[in-house]
Amino acid sequence: MLPDCRLAVVHDTRLVLAAAGIAAGIALVAGTGSVAYGRRADGGEAQRGGWGWLLGDDGSGVWITREAAREVTARADDRRPMGALGHALLAACRATDARELTANLHAMREPMQWAAAASAVFDTYDMDGASREIVSGAADALTKLVRDLREALGVDGPVVLAGGLLLNQPRLEAALRERLTSPCIRLVEPPVEGALRLAEELLRA
C-alpha cells in the first residue's frame, strides 16, 4: 500500500526510549497497565510485562486497585474496621460496603476505570499501613520487570520512567528509585516525539 516508503513498526515502549534520546537502555511504563522494554546498542531487544490487566500488568494502576479491593474484602470477612483505605476505596467506587464494592468493580469493563480508583491507596498512604504495603508491592513488581530485562539483555540502564501513574505518584517513584541501582530519568517529552526521531533515523539510513 505504501510502495517505496521506508517503514518501521515498533512496540510503543520503543518510542519512550527514542523520545528520551536514548539508543540503548530500558523504558519502564506504569499507568493503567505496566510494561518494560529494553534495547541494546546492537539492536537486540526484549520486553517484560504488558500482558494486559486481566493477566498481568503488575504494579500498575489496575493492579493497585485490585490489591486494595482484596484488602478491603478481607477486612469485611474478618469484620475488621474498614480503615482509611477502605473508606477511600468505597468512596472512589461509589459503594457503601464491601459487597457493593465488589459488584461495582465487576461492572467496570474498562481498565482505566479500575486504575482511577488507585488514588484511594495513595491518598491514604500516611493513614493506613495496607496502603503503604500496596505501594511497596507495586514498586517491587516494577523493579522485577527492570531486573529481568537487565539479566536478559545485559543492559544496565539508564531506565526511562514513563506513564501517568509513575510520573504523577511521587511515593511510587521514590520507592522504585530506592530499589533500582541503575540511573533513572523521567520522560519529559511526549512519547510521540520518539516516533518523529525514529522517522528521522529512517530518512538518514
Q: What is the pLDDT of residues 43-56, one digit of tens each?
A: 899 999 999 888 88
For the chain, what percent of residues have pLDDT higher than 90?
77
> Are residue 35 and residue 96 in the same domain, yes or no?
no
Beta carbons within 10 angstroms of residue 109's beta carbon: 7
Q: Which of 86, 105, 134 is the last residue of a domain?
A: 134
Distance CA 62, CA 117 (A): 8
Whether the per-residue pLDDT at 205 is higher than 80: the answer is no
Residue 167 maps to which CATH number?
Answer: 3.30.420.40
> Are residue 153 and residue 101 in the same domain, yes or no?
no
Domain extent, residue 73, equals 61-134
Whether the per-residue pLDDT at 148 is higher than 90: the answer is yes
Specify which of 23-27, 118-122, 181-185 reaches the highest per-range mean pLDDT. 118-122
> Are residue 43 and residue 105 in the same domain, yes or no?
no
Q: Which helix (H) or strand (E) holds 29?
A: strand 25-30
> Are residue 161 and residue 117 in the same domain, yes or no?
no
Residue 5 domain-assigned (yes or no): no
Q: How many domains does the chain have?
A: 2
pLDDT band at 132 (very low <50, low <70, confident <90, very high): very high
Q: Is the peptide bond before 170 cis (omega within 30 degrees of 0)?
A: no
Amino acid at 47: Q
> Are residue 185 and residue 165 in the same domain, yes or no?
yes
Q: CB-based contacts of 36: which residues, under 8 Å, 6+ apart?
A: 13, 26, 27, 28, 29, 47, 48, 49, 50, 142, 145, 146, 148, 149
Residue 2 domain-assigned (yes or no): no
For the chain, the average pLDDT equals: 93
